[in-house]
Amino acid sequence: MINTITKPVSAAAAGTWRLGDLTVNRIGFGAMRLPQTGRALVPDAVPRDRDQAIAVLRRAVELGVNHVDTAAFYFSPLRSANELINAALAPYPDDLVIATKVGPARDASGRWASWATTAQELRGQVEENLRQLGRDHLDLVNLRVNGPGPIAERFAALAELRQAGLIRHLGLSSVGPDQLAEARAIAPVVCVQNPYGIGAPARQDRMLDLCGEQGIAFVPFFAIAGQGREAGPQGTEAEQIDGIARAHQATPAQVRLAWSLQRGPHVLAIPGTGDPGHLEDNIAAGALRLTEADLAVLDDLHRSTAS
């Protein structure tokens, strides 16, 4: 029987996963697109209407989202994702988990400036996230990694901040198996955030499976955008995805999200948007159950288009 969606849908429809001792719904919200319209993380981004951004955040929580992904480097002229989250959601609900990232840095003009490589620089980024969010500790901090190579010194610096009570849980972003193993030898890792979706390289399938074997959440980013990355989805949709979307009375983006979620119970989704309608569509994807035949078609597409 073909499953169709009737909105609005609660984020709880996707099921739950535990990030350490914190339980989250598997459909969350990514804040990267919130501060601007169009392409994210560029100096000349067009700021989004503040009231609209705040309304989207509040609606997300109303619909059961309790996992919000952000970073201090998510900003445009006039708008900061962290400060929008603070304005919209503080005082924060007890069950809300806010995950942030450290590593990359942008200067005041919005240009990429450097990467934090010392304990002092990483602490400074953690403290900036604390200030912007209005928190005395961060629920989850992901170390964003810039390519292959050792990460022990940087991860150990974050582990010290965890011991000091500034961070509750640690994760990683854009890593491979060796870096995950290196980090786990220092402190518990509760999640890995890597780019993933239909057409992702085979090495990301291996990371997804490895995280499942170790009980670690795998959190794809760009699950909808694919190669469009910060610019969002590009061009026409694959015929196979369009056909499955029509059969379920769903959107292609919902099919992509549902496929990612059905890769394993440890897979979380953090689709981002500043549009209220897209927000409801994204959350509703957690209720979409693709058939075995759908999954076979999408798996074939995934393998044939792997970058």
Q: Which residues pair with 195 in a beta bridge?
A: 221
Q: Which residues does 191 contact at the CB level (< 8 Å), separation at least 6?
A: 19, 99, 140, 142, 171, 172, 211, 216, 217, 218, 219, 268
In single-letter form, the type of residue at position 129 comes to: N
- Residue tagged active-site, from 17, 73, 74, 221: 74
Cα distance between residue 56 and residue 34, in whole Å: 9
Buried b (16+ CB within 10 A) or exposed e, 256-271: bbbbbbebeebbbbbb
Q: Which residues does 74 contact at the CB level (< 8 Å), separation at least 6?
A: 31, 32, 34, 35, 40, 41, 80, 81, 82
Which candidate, 92, 30, 81, places its Cα nearest to that of 53?
81
Q: Which two tokens stand for residue 132?
A: 């912007």
74 catalytic residue (yes or no): yes
- DSSP assignments along 201-251, one per residue: -HHHHHHHHHHHHTT-EEEEESTTTGGGGGG---SPPPHHHHHHHHHHT--
Which candidate, 152, 271, 293, 255, places its Cα nearest to that of 219?
271
Place of tokens 């948007």: 273
Q: Is 140 helix (H, G, I), strand (E, B) or coil?
A: strand
Tell me which residues are annotated as active site: 74
